[in-house]
Amino acid sequence: MHFADRMTPIKPSATLAVTAKAKQMAADGLDVVGFGAGEPDFDTPAFIVDALRSALDNGKTRYTPTAGVPALRDAIAAMFTELYKVPFERAEVMTTVGGKHALYNMFQVLVNPGDEVIIPAPYWVSYPAQVRLAQGTPVHVQCDASEGFTLDVDVVRAAVTDRTVGLVLNSPCNPTGACLSEETLGALADLAEERDFWIISDDIYSFLRYDADGAAATALRARPHLRHRIFIVHGASKTYAMTGWRIGFAGGPAELISKMGTLQGQATSNPTAFAQYGALAALQSDHAFLGEWMKQYDARRRRLTALLNDIDGVECLLPGGAFYVFPDISKILERRFRGEVIGTDLRFSQLLLEHALVAVVPGEPFGGAGHCRLSYAISMQDIDKGMARMKTFIDGLQR
């Protein structure tokens, strides 16, 4: 069968692949501890589900405006205004089928064949794939793992060319959980202004931060006067445990949002009508549930990091946000399992899953070879069980 050339470099998402295999093993009756999932383990709060039910009861089952119902757009604008301390209007925001779709639309609208998008590594796996689907070229710059995955502005500067159209910033970051400082974000926005490219600010984890000043550090908050070149990705998935609802938020100059709406109007039309009403209830709530969730995430984050560092050969930084840790396992890759040198993080995660029933995601597809990603959106009990198994597995390897 022949497929379009644009699909040639596109691979299935590594994160989904591990989760699928772990789920299959669990379905086959095996007691797998899964650190693979990129979604909260909490249920969507009941009041949000109730809002969807009542939308259905009230006949909200038809097409809505492509960019979302006006009340939801206004609620997104209000949330952005509060979060970024910059006034947003309805025309400057839209609803999409998840944050992933917001990014997809934006790359399709902004990237010409051969244009370059700078993506700091480690990165979320969909950025390079989406840039390639827009026939652009992903250009990777490395974050400094030894410094807590910080990004050096001069390293980014050196990667800028005449073809650069955007720089992706994701803080807190998937997969590392690292947060960039306000100073770095501001300096990168200044560079974008100087060299005329977009800042693509993926702030989907901005409410999941463990430092005192919460969501303060974002490119837009650091440089409000540069809002004309900052594109915002956000959504309901991670903040409200609504991953399956597929509701994302996009923000940016009205002209860009309008162009994305034109594309969306020809591709998917509106996100599911009644799901939009759930998202509206979520945005209009007092977010009280989030404080309780953050306490639990925080306790798990500390425990998981400590248990990982307790394993000889594993080094793990305490992340500042999201619900992932990204330990360095490079020393373990030199060891042997039943005579075979492990070699790669991919092989390590296969062996760990098959022989210790622990699912982690290899770091290489995230541009972080020698690492693996573990999500702590699982119970404390499972964290303890999974770490005990991982320690036994690693301690049993031959040197």
Ligand X SMILES: Cc1ncc(COP(=O)(O)O)c(C=O)c1O
Footprint (CB under 6 A) of ligand X, residues 171-190: 174
The span of 83-91, 93-101, 284-292, 332-340 binding ligand X (CB under 6 A) equals: 93-101
Q: How far is the CB of 248 from ligand X (least distance, A)?
A: 5
Positions 7 through 26 that interact with ligand X (CB under 6 A): none
Nearer to ligand X, 64 or 206 (CB): 206
Nearer of residues 108 and 237 to ligand X, judged by Cβ: 237
Kindly state the smallest distance separating residue 388's Cβ from ligand X, in Å: 28
Beta bridge partners of 144: 150
Determine the interface stretch with ligand X among 94-102, 142-150, 256-264, 328-336 (rule: CB under 6 A): 94-102
DSSP states of 11-77: ---HHHHHHHHHHHHHHTT---EE----S-SSPPPHHHHHHHHHHHHTT--S---TT--HHHHHHHH
- Shortest distance in whole angstroms from residue 396 CB to ligand X: 33
Pick between residue 160 and residue 361 the one whose CB is nearest to ligand X: 361
Binding span for ligand X by CB under 6 A among 95-103, 159-167, 189-197, 383-391: 95-103
By beta carbon distance, the residue nearest ligand X is 98
Q: In a 3-state reduction of DSSP, which class is residue 371?
A: strand
Cβ distance to ligand X smaller for residue 38 or 327? 38
State the alpha helices, DSSP H only, in 134-272. 153-159, 182-195, 219-222, 254-267
189 is written with which tokens? 């926005």
Minimum CB–partner distance for residue 242 and ligand X (Å): 8
Tokens encoding 329: 């396992």
Task: Indicate the residue among 177 and 386 with the shorter CB distance to ligand X.
Answer: 177
C-beta separation of 80 from 102 below 8 A = no
CB 71 within 8 A of CB 283: no
Figure out which of the listed residues 170, 171, 176, 206 binds ligand X, where binding follows CB under 6 A: 170
What is the chain's alpha carbon radius of gyration, rounded to the nearest angstrom?
21
Distance CA 249, CA 377 (A): 22
Per CB under 6 A, contacts with ligand X among 26-65 are: 38
Q: Is 248 in the site for ligand X (CB under 6 A)?
A: yes
Out of 107, 124, 323, 348, point to the residue binding ligand X (CB under 6 A). Answer: 124
Stretch that binds ligand X, among 82-90, 98-106, 283-291, 342-350 (CB under 6 A): 98-106
Q: What is the DSSP string of 318-365?
A: --SBTTEE--B-TTGGGSEETTEE--SHHHHHHHHHHHH-EE-EESGG
- Joined together, the tokens standing for residue 277 give 């009403």
Q: Please, what is the minimum distance in Å from the beta carbon of residue 37 to ligand X?
A: 10
Please identify which residue in 206, 237, 264, 276 interacts with ligand X, judged by CB under 6 A.
237
Residue 31 Cβ vs ligand X, minimum distance, rounded to whole Å: 26
Q: Taking the complex as a whole, how short is the minimal distance between the CB of residue 114 and ligand X, in angstroms?
A: 25
User: Distances from the Cα of 211 to the Cαs of 186, 217, 304, 320, in angstroms?
Assistant: 19, 10, 18, 7
Contact 139, 16 (CB under 8 A): no
C-alpha span between 132 and 111 (Å, rounded): 10
Q: Which of 21, 73, 100, 229 binds ligand X (CB under 6 A)?
A: 100
- Closest alpha carbon to 158 in 132, 136, 140, 131: 140
Give the DSSP per-residue string, 276-301. Answer: HHHHHHHHHS--HHHHHHHHHHHHHH
Residues 196-235 that bind ligand X (CB under 6 A): 202, 204, 235
* CB closer to ligand X out of 98 and 120: 98
Of 81, 135, 243, 330, the one binding ligand X by CB under 6 A: 243
Element (H, E) at 383: helix 380-395
Binding site for ligand X (CB under 6 A): 38, 98-100, 124, 170, 174, 202, 204, 235, 237, 243, 248
